[in-house]
């Protein structure tokens, strides 16, 4: 599902550099990424999603080379194939929770907000405990509720790949377990690949594989 080769990335004017000679995620695999802040975990997700482009090397999603696409093609690929749970939620303040969940349908080519889409959005919201709150705007929701809206938005288009940046970080233990159950169940139903950045080590046994990003980077860069 994801293949990274000879990747090199650096932010302009800074000391941070990310080098990954090789990384492969198989279709349907559930992978957690852990490691200290500043090691590049969020940057990795952004590179895979095509939000950020490497200086060299390739990032492939299936048979499509994301890193060689232009901006419009990367946006179209994200809308059609990738569900992204952002660490800061990235909800649109002027839209209701329901409209935020359905927003991917507005930007994906050929997608329509029909009865099936509305039903799927409502079912996802109900499974996240958001009943009765779908007409509220983000400012009227708690952080945990906003996070659950962001998760529903990432899943509503039934993507092939889900990228989650601290998807359970603002949730209490009960909601954390429920949301992880939902995330795993929906990705399993779709045969989707899940790559999740987390600081919660209690969740790690549930993943197929765990990448400690600081150790991973040291091993990869030492092999160059």
Tell me what pLDDT residue 221 has.
67
Tell me what pLDDT residue 14 has.
76
Tell me what pLDDT residue 30 has.
94
User: 97, 137 in Cβ contact below 8 A?
Assistant: yes
User: 28, 192 in Cβ contact below 8 A?
Assistant: yes
Residue 97's H or E segment, with its range, is helix 97-107
| 10-residue stretch averages of pLDDT, the chain, 224 residues long | 92 85 93 90 94 94 91 90 90 96 90 93 91 94 90 93 86 80 87 91 91 81 60
Tell me what pLDDT residue 223 has.
57
Q: Which residues contact 194 (CB under 8 A, 6 or more apart)?
A: 29, 30, 31, 161, 162, 164, 183, 184, 187
Q: How many domains in the chain?
A: 1
User: 180, 168 in Cβ contact below 8 A?
Assistant: yes
Tell me what pLDDT residue 123 has.
93
User: 105, 183 in Cβ contact below 8 A?
Assistant: no
CATH number of the structural domain spanning residue 189? 3.40.50.300
User: 16, 221 in Cβ contact below 8 A?
Assistant: no
- Record the tokens describing residue 42, joined without a space: 């969020």
Q: Give the phi and the psi of residue 203 in degrees, each rounded to 5.
A: -85, -15
Cα separations in angstroms, 218 against 44, 212, 214, 223: 15, 10, 6, 9
- Which range marks the domain in which residue 104 is found? 2-223
């Amino acid at each position: 599902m994801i293949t990274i080769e000879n990747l090199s990335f650096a932010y302009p004017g800074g000391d941070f550099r990310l080098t990954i000679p090789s990384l492969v995620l198989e279709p349907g695999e559930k992978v957690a990424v852990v490691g200290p802040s500043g090691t590049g975990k969020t940057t990795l997700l952004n590179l895979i999603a095509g939000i950020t482009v490497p200086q060299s090397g390739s990032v492939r999603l299936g048979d499509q080379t994301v890193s060689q696409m232009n901006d419009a093609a990367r946006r179209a690929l994200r809308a059609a194939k990738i569900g992204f749970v952002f660490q800061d939620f990235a909800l649109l303040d002027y839209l209701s929770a329901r409209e935020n969940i359905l927003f991917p349908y507005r930007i994906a080519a050929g997608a329509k907000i029909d009865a099936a889409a509305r039903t799927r959005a409502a079912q996802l919201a109900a499974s996240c405990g958001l009943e009765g709150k779908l007409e509220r705007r983000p400012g009227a929701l708690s952080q945990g509720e906003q996070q659950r809206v962001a998760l529903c938005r990432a899943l509503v288009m039934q993507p092939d790949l889900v990228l989650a940046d601290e998807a359970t970080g603002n949730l209490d233990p009960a909601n954390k377990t429920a949301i992880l159950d939902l995330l795993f169940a929906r990705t399993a139903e779709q045969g989707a690949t899940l790559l999740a950045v987390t600081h919660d080590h209690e969740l790690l046994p549930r993943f197929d594989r765990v990448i400690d990003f600081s150790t991973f980077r040291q091993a990869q860069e030492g092999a160059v």
